[in-house]
Amino acid sequence: MLKNLVIFPVIALIIALTGCETPNSNSNAAIDAAIADLKSSMDAKEAEQEANIEAANKTAQRAEAMTEQNRSALRALNDKIDRMFRTISRK
C-alpha cells in the first residue's frame, strides 16, 4: 500500500511535467508562425501603401500638368480677346 502511495504520485507528476513541456514547444511554434504571419501581412501592407503613394504622386503630377495647360490656354485666350478688343477699338 505504501508502495502504491509513492509510485502513483511520482508517475502522475512525471506525466504532468511531460504534459507541461509539450504545449510550451507547440506554443513557441505557434508564436513563431504568428510572428511570421504578421511580418508578411505588414510587408504586404507596406507594399500596398507604397503603391498608393506612387499612384497619388502620379495623380498629383497629372493634375499639376493639367493646371499648367489650363493656365496656358487661358493666357492664350486672354491674349486673343485683348487683340480682338484692340482691333474693335481701332475701327
Cell numbers given for 1: 500500500
Cell numbers given for 69: 495647360
The whole-model pTM stands at: 0.50
pLDDT in tens, 34-65: 898 999 999 999 999 999 999 999 999 999 99
Q: What is the mean pLDDT of residues 73-91?
A: 91
Which three-class secondary structure state does DSSP give residue 91? coil
CA dihedral 49, 52, 58, 62 (to 10 degrees): -140
Q: Which residue has the higher pLDDT, 37 or 14?
A: 37
Q: What's the rounded Cα separation, in Å, for the pair 33 and 27?
A: 10
Q: DSSP string covering 16-65, please?
A: HHHHHHHHHHHHHHHHHHHHHHHHHHHHHHHHHHHHHHHHHHHHHHHHHH
